[in-house]
Amino acid sequence: MMNKKQKAGRHKNLCHDTSEWAACALCGLFLIAIFVLLPVSLAAKKKSSHDGAPVSKVKVTARQIDSFYRSGKQTTQFGKLRFLGGLELTSDWRGFGGWSDLVVDKDGRRFLAISDEGHWLRATLQYQGLKPVGIANASRGDLHALSGRVLKGKRERDAEGAVLLDGTLENGSLLISFERIHRIGRFKALRQGIVGPSQYLTLPREVRTLKRNKGIESVGVIRAGRLKGSIIAVAERYRRARDRNSRGRPGWIFTANGTQRFYVKDRGDMDITSLAGLPGGDVLLLERRFRWSEGIKIRLRCIHTDGLRPGEVVDGKVILEAGLDFEIDNMEGLSVHRGPGGETILTLISDDNFNKLLQRTILLQFQLETSDVSPVM
């Protein structure tokens, strides 16, 4: 027989055991919920990210740039290029900036910019005639991996080049190149955003030897001629330091018959930051250089595609050079489209390196007034 004290102790222990059991049961139910519901949640999130590409509206303010000269000098003709106008872009979105390349839609109205932090920005350009005067309907999102997750870390996110393969920015296919982890992915452009990639291109082995931060900075498509439809990519710099005085910057042409390597002759040790195919079949290269003694400098060079053969070194014709006297910054993006009257329009965008104090995001447009820019080989 238990006395009252023993019964009270037993009752106390029973209550304690019951409390622990209840707690354990609750923990068990919680763990079951985690293991059962979390994969479902992740799967739903993955599907949403990969197939739906979540999009957020963002406010972008545009200040017009009326003169290509910083002094305001009203000169519009620069060789074969006519300056149409520009915009200085700002936004309260913390991720705004670092724009490494852009794609302007075939009608010139919509554009897509990609950043080296794995973001994309899509907006509508507003015009007065051929002059860009504003930005509207801006939205932004993140680039994703094959699995559908958002890219993580600088090594994965460092997008540098972009080109529209077919269709439009609301229903088309894109190629986006990355450096650090060197790769070129195929993405889908839809009304709700940029989704994918669906696959990565098979790249030559020598691409792996490119410097981590000097990889495939530019990718484009040849629009006419012998190599029509071929993908072209060029490295920002040399593969190794000793290559500097050798053949030139390596480039690759992806054709139905395989990959061909060529070289771009070095002129003044400038980095190749973007390229774009012209309607006639030539290719424009955008180059830039920064020196503390001279500041920023940019150059546009035209490459004749007849010279793009395996092992060949191509040079090209310079059609624009500009320094600190002009409204430029760290220009990294280049796109070509047709104007409403068939004009060949060039659009450039700058990478401000997220340095709002010293640098700017600017968008510039020029009209290429003649197709006779084929360089001497």
Which pLDDT does position 240 carry in this prediction?
Answer: 53
Q: State the amino acid at position 248 in one-letter form.
A: G
47: Cβ–Cβ under 8 A, 6 or more apart, which residues?
148
What is the Cα–Cα distance from 276 to 317, expressed in whole angstroms? 15
Omega before 340 within 30 of 0, i.e. cis: no
The phi and psi torsions of 223 (rounded to 5 degrees) equal -95, -15
pLDDT of residue 243: 52
For the chain, what is the largest distance between any 2 Cα atoms, rounded to a whole number of angstroms? 112
Q: How far is the C-alpha of 43 from the C-alpha of 232, rounded, in Å?
A: 36
**By the 8 A CB rule, do 368 and 308 touch?**
no
pLDDT of residue 211: 72
Picking from 347, 285, 374, 291, the residue whose alpha carbon sits closest to that of residue 125 is 347
**Alpha carbons 333 and 120: distance in angstroms, whole number:** 13
**Burial state string for 251-267 with b = 16 or more CB within 10 A and e = fewer than 16:** bbbbeeeebbebbbebe
- How far is the C-alpha of 69 from the C-alpha of 219, rounded, in Å? 29
- What are the tokens at 133? 């005067």
Taking only the tens of pLDDT, the chain with its 377 residues reads 555 444 444 444 434 444 443 434 434 433 333 333 333 333 333 333 344 457 899 999 999 999 999 999 999 999 999 999 999 999 999 999 999 999 999 999 999 999 999 999 999 999 999 999 999 999 999 999 999 999 999 999 999 999 999 999 999 999 999 999 999 999 999 988 999 999 999 998 888 778 776 678 899 999 999 999 999 999 887 655 555 546 788 899 998 888 999 999 988 889 999 999 999 999 999 999 999 888 999 999 999 988 888 889 999 999 999 999 999 999 999 999 999 999 999 999 999 999 999 999 999 999 998 755 544 33
Output the pLDDT for position 207: 82
**Dist CA 205 CA 374 (whole Å):** 32
Q: Report yes or no: 230 and 222 within 8 Å, Cβ to Cβ.
A: yes
- Give the containing element (helix H, strand E) for 28: helix 4-47
